[in-house]
Amino acid sequence: MRDTDRALVQAATAVAKLRCRSENHTVAAAARTADGRVFTGVNVYHFTGGPCAEVVAIGAAATQGETELETIVAVGDRGRGVIAPCGRCRQVLRDYFPSVRVIVGPADALRAVPVAELLPETYVWADHQLGPQF
Ligand SMILES: [Zn+2]
């Protein structure tokens, strides 16, 4: 963990504490670009499948024109600490940012790992876009 990784966890923790105050928003994410810009987001719970905080943070970055993220972390509300990304987010992160680092692990042993390590032997959507056959 770099100092910037610890700062990213702190940013997500602050957003979780400040903004996750209902059952609709229970997780916050923070993502950092290579040049140090940080984008945050909270999940948008809905029974139809509202987006996780990581996806909202990706959208917040894209809204500001950032399309490359270096590191991302999600933190739960009510002091739950760092939460590993769900399967869907792992796939999204892998497809959008193949080299992104994801902060995972228990509070006393946080580490930043390449997303590929969280999704071994994965389906890579881009590898299967063959175009028209006829
Ligand atoms: Zn997710």
* Distance in Å, CA 57 to ligand 1 centroid: 11
Q: What was the pLDDT predicted at 51?
A: 97
pLDDT tens for 46-91 read 999 899 999 999 999 999 999 999 999 999 999 999 999 999 999 9
- Residue from 23, 54, 68, 121 carrying the catalytic annotation: 54
Q: What was the pLDDT predicted at 52?
A: 98
Q: How far is CA 7 from CA 34, 94, 130, in A?
A: 14, 23, 41
Mean pLDDT of 119-130: 86
Q: What is the pTM of this model?
A: 0.92
Q: How far is CA 50 from CA 18, 45, 55, in A?
A: 20, 5, 10
Q: What was the pLDDT predicted at 134?
A: 75
* Distance in Å, CA 133 to ligand 1 centroid: 34
Res 18 pLDDT > 90: yes
Residues with CB under 5 A from ligand 1 (ion): 52, 86, 89
Tally the C-alpha atoms within 13 A of residue 40's C-alpha that lie toward its C-beta.
Answer: 19
| Domains of the chain with CATH codes | 3-128 (3.40.140.10)
* Distance in Å, CA 116 to ligand 1 centroid: 16
* Distance in Å, CA 134 to ligand 1 centroid: 37
* Distance in Å, CA 108 to ligand 1 centroid: 23
Cα–chain-centroid distance for residue 13?
13
Active site residue 54: yes
Report the SS3 class of residue 35.
coil
pLDDT tens for 39-52 read 999 999 999 989 99
| Residue tagged 């792992």 (tokens) | 90
